[in-house]
Amino acid sequence: MDKCRVELPVSLLQVLRACRTLPSAPAVVFEVLDLSQDPEIGTSKVSKVIARDPALTAKILKVANSPWCGVRSQVTTLDRAVNLLGINGALSLALSFSLVRELRKNGGTKFDHQRYWHRSVIAATATRAVGAAVQAATPDELFLAGLLQDIGMLALNEAMHEVYARLVASVQGGHTALVELERDMMQADHAQVGSWMLSEWGLPKPLVAAVGGSHDPERVAQQERLLARSVAVGSTIAEIWIHPDTKWAAASASDAAASLLAISTARFERLLGEVASALPEVTMNLDIEMGSNVDTDRLFDQAREAVAELSLKAQHETRQLEFLAQRDELTSLYNRTYLNQLLQRQLELCLQLTHSLTVIFLDIDNFKCINDTYGHQGGDAVLVSVARAIKSATRSIDTVVRFGGDEFVVVLTDSGENVAAMVAERIRTTIEDQSHEVGADIWIPVTVSVGCATMSSSERFSSGKELLEAADRSLYAAKNGGRNRVAYYERRMRLASPGVVS
């Protein structure tokens, strides 16, 4: 089998090659790897290899009878277990169990092996869950990739003895902080070292690449990137049970799932539940002590609470974005986009319920002169002042819109011509009766011209656009009539071309 080429700094590579106690793969691993290259392999060959290892046989049978496989009748033979798991699944599990058993023999030193395996089994379980959700690989391949993603830590611990153990122990900021320290010290991280070691063993290229890219999935080739991203997200989920700040770790993991795998907050919360539910069985199968169930459940509850808070925050931010998309930035009134949606809805309602609908269209008289005299900053101040005046003169049920430039629209639902006339005149007089600030202690009078159009049983419009155009024609008439007045739509205006005079 061709090895996957993995580059490491020369100085680090020399240290690793000089180490005589690097973790090694047991013989059964190489037999399994040879079998996995045979396209004609049958279940009997796989069973024979596994059967030579009684402990491994017991593990495979245990998994075959577990809820992991969901069988209804007890599996008592290895052949049936391999059939049930599938050849690839059985091979992946054989690799997982035999590697864990062999690598756990390396004890001693100040390196915290229990913490290492604690994190590895959670990462494996999480990688299997998130990777299966995005169909990155088979569940067993995902599990193996997640389980081995930090194997480089074991290699570095053997090659650098007390130095690396002290480095790991000194880290207070979680896994990311460890990676940064490794890169500062060695110009490489443990993921790259693990990838190199798995390549030396001759493990499959996708697995080698996924482990090597677990801290930076985007540097992995496109065909292996989804698996690498799944491993990376599985790693961040493991931090929920490891990092001292559970809520921070949960938030970081949720962000990673969203950015790397497009997993929503709600879906992530469900996946987190799957991981927590699967952990007891997985740790039992691998004979890895995880601590008390009480602690495990408490950490999961904290993580779920943090993710729920994230979900609420995301919903709030979405509503905020929707709100801002409907608002005019200068005046905070509704914008033209919202007006178009509103008119369409209200017009349909009018047709169904025979209600009336009024549009009041107004603009500021001689606004160009204001801009020319006081500048755009003074003009903006007038627009904001007029917007406030319109809001104060309308009812809470009315909708006020900045149409564009110095033009405003007010929509009155279920309001006939008499009500419309009263509101329109109140708007005009409110604006006329107050002074409007254009600068520091500079106040000027402002007037508006107003046009009204009402859809009623006697006056029908085919669309919101047509109703708006009718109000615009009325505004044009008010301008031509001398400004600072209200004009009402009449049928004869249909023949007039809209063109508002400033």
Pinpoint the alpha helices (H) of 243-397: 246-261, 265-286, 293-325, 336-353, 367-393
Same domain, 341 and 450: yes
Q: Can you read off the two tokens belonging to residue 93?
A: 């599990």
pLDDT, mean of residues 376-401: 92
Q: Say yes or no to pLDDT of 54 above 90.
A: no
- In whole angstroms, what is the distance from residue 55 CA to residue 53 CA? 6
Q: Say yes or no to pLDDT of 498 above 50.
A: no
Q: Can you read off the two tokens belonging to residue 486?
A: 């209200």
Same domain, 100 and 112: no
In a domain, 343, yes or no: yes
Question: Is the separation of the CB atoms in 214 and 124 below 8 Å?
Answer: no
Q: Say yes or no to pLDDT of 495 above 50.
A: no
pLDDT > 70 fraction of the chain, expressed in percent and rounded: 80
Q: Say yes or no to pLDDT of 423 above 90.
A: yes
Q: Residue 319: how many CB atoms within 10 A of its CB?
A: 10
Same domain, 56 and 200: no
- Of 406, 286, 413, the residue nearest 342 (C-alpha): 413
Q: Give the range with max mean pLDDT: 101-110, 130-139, 243-252.
A: 130-139
The structural domain count of the chain equals 3
Q: Give me the pLDDT at residue 55, please.
A: 72
Q: Can you read off the two tokens belonging to residue 90?
A: 């059985």
Using one digit for the tens of pLDDT, what is the confidence trace for 257-279?
Answer: 888 998 888 888 888 888 888 87
Same domain, 218 and 235: yes
Q: Give me the pLDDT at residue 1, please.
A: 44
Query: What is the rounded average pLDDT for all residues in the chain?
Result: 81
CA angle 125, 299, 241 (to 5 degrees): 45
Q: Say yes or no to pLDDT of 341 above 70.
A: yes
Using one digit for the tens of pLDDT, what is the confidence trace for 1-30?
Answer: 445 567 889 999 999 998 888 877 767 767
In a domain, 89, yes or no: yes
Same domain, 143 and 247: yes
What secondary structure letter does DSSP report for 334?
B
Residue, of 47 and 467, whose pLDDT is higher: 467
Q: Give me the pLDDT at residue 502, please.
A: 44
Same domain, 44 and 130: no
Same domain, 123 and 182: yes
Domain holding 260, by residue range, is: 108-324
- In whole angstroms, what is the distance from residue 382 CA to residue 398 CA? 22
- Of 324, 359, 380, the last residue of a domain is 324
Q: Give me the pLDDT at residue 476, please.
A: 92
Same domain, 439 and 342: yes
In a domain, 330, yes or no: no
Q: Give me the pLDDT at residue 415, please.
A: 77
Q: Can you read off the two tokens belonging to residue 317?
A: 């931010």
Same domain, 262 and 314: yes
On whether the pTM is more than 0.85, the answer is: no
- Of 299, 324, 349, the last residue of a domain is 324
The strand pair at 407-413 and 486-488 is best described as: unpaired
In a domain, 353, yes or no: yes
- In whole angstroms, what is the distance from residue 214 CA to residue 256 CA? 12
Query: What does the H/E/C string look like for 14-36?
Result: HHHHHCCCCCCCCHHHHHHHHHH
Question: Is the separation of the CB atoms in 359 and 343 below 8 Å?
Answer: yes
For residue 368, what is the domain's CATH number? 3.30.70.270
pLDDT, mean of residues 438-450: 92
Question: Who contacts 7 (Cβ-Cβ below 8 Å, separation ≥6)?
Answer: none
- Of 86, 105, 124, the last residue of a domain is 105
pLDDT, mean of residues 326-347: 87
In a domain, 4, yes or no: no
Sign of the CA dihedral with 105 first, then 108, 114, and 116 last = negative
Q: Cα separations (Å) of 89 from 109, 148, 228, 337? A: 35, 16, 19, 55
Q: Can you read off the two tokens belonging to residue 208?
A: 């080698």
Name which of 212-216, 320-324, 408-412 the model is least confident about.
320-324
Instruction: For residue 383, name the pLDDT band (cuts at 50, 70, 90).
Output: very high
pLDDT, mean of residues 100-108: 63
Question: Who contacts 307 (Cβ-Cβ below 8 Å, separation ≥6)?
Answer: 250, 251, 254, 265, 268, 269, 272
For residue 170, what is the domain's CATH number? 1.10.3210
- Of 414, 364, 369, 371, the residue nearest 389 (C-alpha): 364
The strand pair at 407-413 and 435-439 is best described as: unpaired
Same domain, 280 and 134: yes
What secondary structure letter does DSSP report for 5?
P
Using one digit for the tens of pLDDT, what is the confidence trace for 355-380?
Answer: 788 999 999 999 999 999 999 999 99
In a domain, 502, yes or no: no
The residue to which tokens 């000027």 are assigned: 444
Question: Who contacts 10 (Cβ-Cβ below 8 Å, separation ≥6)?
Answer: none
Name which of 83-92, 172-181, 461-470 the model is least confident about.
83-92
- In whole angstroms, what is the distance from residue 139 CA to residue 18 CA? 36
Q: Give me the pLDDT at residue 270, please.
A: 85
Using one digit for the tens of pLDDT, what is the confidence trace for 170-223?
Answer: 876 678 888 888 998 889 999 999 999 888 888 888 889 999 999 999 888 888
Specify the DSSP element, H or E, that contains 360.
strand 357-364
Q: Say yes or no to pLDDT of 109 above 80.
A: no
Q: Say yes or no to pLDDT of 70 above 90.
A: no
Q: What string of DSSP letters covers 194-215?
A: HHHHHHHHT--HHHHHHHHTSS
Same domain, 85 and 171: no
Same domain, 433 and 417: yes
Q: Say yes or no to pLDDT of 501 above 60.
A: no
In a domain, 276, yes or no: yes
Q: Give me the pLDDT at residue 410, please.
A: 95
Q: Say yes or no to pLDDT of 448 above 90.
A: yes
